[in-house]
């Protein structure tokens, strides 16, 4: 008989985003742990490039990889596709939509964020978010289908509505989407329509604050605005949305905007599963402030990482909701668990988090791309913009894609699109709801 302490610890990781994958990788091939990674899709998604799927530059599989494939050679990691609905922190068991139970010794909650409508869940049905591959394809379908309908219609009011894309939220997602859309529709698709001019498509970027990209310096925000306007985006700052309905937005100043496509990139909130931890959220978006070691207050064996977290790190700097932070948190939890098993510090259960190392975020900076050939970079004291920043963006994203099979395919696709000025993934796979599949769609 083996002694009890030799039994491998069961680590349950929920969510295969950047944080969950990093944590599972750091624990893989370590026989002290058996890791179960539960993810509701079958893939890990490279979210920073999701906007390129929405704007027809990349195909969905170019930015996703099979989670199962990532852990192929990690025999202590079991990947299961399920959606966790319940967390029993007392019974140390999670329950999935499949009905299956997942017991744990340690839980790592890494389910990320979802789109937030600031207390107006009813706005969701009139808008499109951008968090999943299905979302990205939904946006692509909506914009391309609207252009197709605009080419068909003879009603000028309807045509104007179909030719308007409103993007709410002037953060990186809004900036990237709006720049890529004008590039696609005003330039690449120019001359392809006979009754409309695709460069008449209005792309309106709406921000409540007085500038875009608020985490950046003011002159970088100004540069982004000027650059987007040169490309053909209408940038509306200091415009607060009061109401959203079918194909229209209303602002607090009483103005109304009719747009057949409304993309909501204005905010995120924690995945609701975080609410099942029994811990008071730290803010209205449902995020949770963990202990310094990333464990949940009162539950030293439950960790929370990635976009679910709202915290200041050991240097008292706020940790942003970006991929590198999630990766570093995943690594940190793995380090804590490995050290704990090594030292067997099980006696101090209650003050465990004080004995463990605290999380320290290494800030590599921020970057956002603004159409073709331009980006902004803010890293430490470094500030870049324009072509050089764009090259830096490209370099970092290519580096980050390492491990994705599709790195070369993505590069090639980008190369083509750049040289020929023509993104090639303009395919609506599933017809829109109002165009039922013909008989032969079967």
Q: 314 or 435, CB closer to a copy of itself? A: 435
Contact pick of 7, 29, 120, 152 for a copy of itself (by CB under 8 A): 152
Contact pick of 12, 49, 59, 235 for a copy of itself (by CB under 8 A): 59
CA 289 to mean position of chain CA atoms = 20
**Which one of 53-61, 203-211, 319-327, 383-391 is the stretch in contact with a copy of itself (CB under 8 A)?**
53-61
- Binding of residue 189 to a copy of itself (CB under 8 A): yes
Smallest distance, a copy of itself to C-beta of residue 93, A: 16
- Binding of residue 250 to a copy of itself (CB under 8 A): no
Tokens read off for 221: 């925000």
N-term to C-term CA, the chain: 58
Site for a copy of itself in 28-47 (CB under 8 A): 40-43
- Binding of residue 114 to a copy of itself (CB under 8 A): yes
- Binding of residue 160 to a copy of itself (CB under 8 A): no
Question: Is-catalytic flag, 176?
Answer: yes
Q: 114 or 352, CB closer to a copy of itself? A: 114
- Binding of residue 441 to a copy of itself (CB under 8 A): yes
String marking each residue 372-411 x if it binds a copy of itself according to CB under 8 A: ---------------------------------xx-xx--
Rounded Cα distance, 14 and 111, in Å: 6
Smallest distance, a copy of itself to C-beta of residue 338, A: 22
Site for a copy of itself in 266-305 (CB under 8 A): 271-273
The catalytic position among 39, 176, 269, 340 is: 176
Helix (H), strand (E), coil (C) string for the chain: CCCHHHCCEEEEEECCCHHHHHHHHHHCCCCCEEEEEEECCCEEECHHHHHHHHCCCCCHHHHEEEHHHHCCCCCCEEEEECCEEEEECCCCEEEECCCCEEECCEEEECCCEEECCCCCHHHHHHCECCCCHHHHHHHHHHHHHHHHHHHHCCCHHHHHHHCEEEEECCCHHHHHHHHHHHHHHHHHCCCCCCCCCHHHCEEEEECCCCCCCCCCCHHHHHHHHHHHHHHCEEEECCCCEEEEECCEEEECCCCEEECCEEEECCCEEECHHHHHHCCCCCCCCCCECCCCCCEECCEEEEEECHHHECCECCCCCECCCCHHHHHHHHHHHHHHHHHHHHHCCCCCHHHHHHHCCCCCCCCCCEEEECCCCCEEEEECCEEEEEHHHHHHHHHHHHHHCCCCCCHHHHHHHHHHHHHHCCCCCCCCCCCCCCCCCCHHHC
Smallest distance, a copy of itself to C-beta of residue 74, A: 10
Contact pick of 111, 142, 178, 328 for a copy of itself (by CB under 8 A): 111
The set of residues, in sequence order, having a beta carbon less than 8 Å from that of 339 and lying 6+ positions away, is 356, 357
Q: 254 or 436, CB closer to a copy of itself? A: 436
- Binding of residue 442 to a copy of itself (CB under 8 A): yes
String marking each residue 350-369 x if it binds a copy of itself according to CB under 8 A: --------------------
Q: 235 or 249, CB closer to a copy of itself? A: 249
Q: 60 or 279, CB closer to a copy of itself? A: 60
- Binding of residue 100 to a copy of itself (CB under 8 A): yes
Contact pick of 105, 151, 200, 250 for a copy of itself (by CB under 8 A): 151
- Binding of residue 115 to a copy of itself (CB under 8 A): yes
Smallest distance, a copy of itself to C-beta of residue 47, A: 11
# chain residues binding a copy of itself, by CB under 8 A? 78
- Binding of residue 134 to a copy of itself (CB under 8 A): yes
- Binding of residue 131 to a copy of itself (CB under 8 A): yes
Q: 112 or 300, CB closer to a copy of itself? A: 112
Q: Which residues are catalytic?
A: 176
């Amino acid at each position: 008989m083996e002694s009890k302490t030799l039994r491998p610890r069961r680590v349950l990781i929920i969510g295969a985003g950047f944080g969950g994958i990093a944590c599972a990788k750091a624990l893989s091939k370590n026989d002290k742990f058996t890791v179960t990674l539960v993810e509701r899709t079958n893939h890990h998604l490279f979210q920073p490039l999701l906007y390129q799927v929405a704007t027809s530059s990349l195909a969905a599989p170019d930015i996703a990889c099979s989670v199962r494939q990532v852990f192929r050679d990690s025999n202590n990691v079991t990947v299961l596709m399920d959606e966790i609905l319940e967390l029993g922190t007392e019974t140390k068991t999670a329950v999935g939509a499949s009905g299956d139970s997942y017991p744990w010794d340690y839980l790592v909650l890494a389910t990320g964020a979802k789109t937030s409508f600031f207390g107006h869940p009813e706005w969701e049905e009139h808008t499109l978010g951008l968090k999943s591959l299905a979302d990205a394809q939904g946006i692509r379908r909506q914009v391309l289908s609207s252009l197709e309908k605009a080419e068909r219609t003879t009603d000028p009011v309807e045509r104007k509505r179909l030719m308007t894309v409103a993007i709410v939220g002037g953060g990186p997602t809004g900036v990237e989407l709006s720049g890529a859309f004008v590039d696609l529709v005003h330039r690449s698709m120019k001359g392809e329509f006979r009754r409309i001019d695709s460069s008449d498509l209005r792309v309106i970027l709406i921000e409540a604050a007085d500038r875009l990209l608020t985490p950046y310096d003011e002159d970088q925000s100004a540069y982004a605005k000027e650059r987007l306007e040169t490309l053909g985006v209408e940038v509306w700052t200091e415009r607060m949305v009061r109401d959203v309905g079918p194909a229209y937005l209303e602002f607090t100043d009483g103005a109304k905007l009719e747009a057949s496509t409304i993309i909501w990139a204005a905010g995120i909130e924690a995945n609701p599963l975080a609410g099942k931890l029994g811990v008071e959220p730290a803010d209205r978006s449902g995020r949770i402030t963990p202990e310094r070691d990333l464990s949940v207050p009162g539950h030293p064996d439950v960790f929370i990482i990635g976009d679910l977290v709202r915290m200041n790190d050991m240097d008292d700097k706020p940790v942003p909701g970006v991929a590198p932070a999630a990766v570093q948190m995943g690594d940190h939890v793995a380090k804590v668990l490995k050290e704990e098993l090594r030292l067997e510090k099980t006696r101090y259960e209650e003050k465990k988090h004080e004995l463990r190392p605290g999380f320290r975020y290494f800030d590599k900076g921020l970057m956002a791309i603004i159409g073709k050939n331009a980006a902004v970079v803010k890293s430490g004291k470094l500030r870049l913009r324009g072509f050089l920043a764009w090259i830096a963006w490209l370099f970092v994203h290519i580096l980050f894609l390492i491990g994705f099979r599709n790195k070369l395919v993505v590069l090639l696709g980008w190369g083509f699109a750049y040289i020929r000025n023509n993104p090639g993934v303009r395919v609506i796979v599933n017809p829109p709801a109002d165009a039922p599949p013909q008989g032969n769609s079967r």
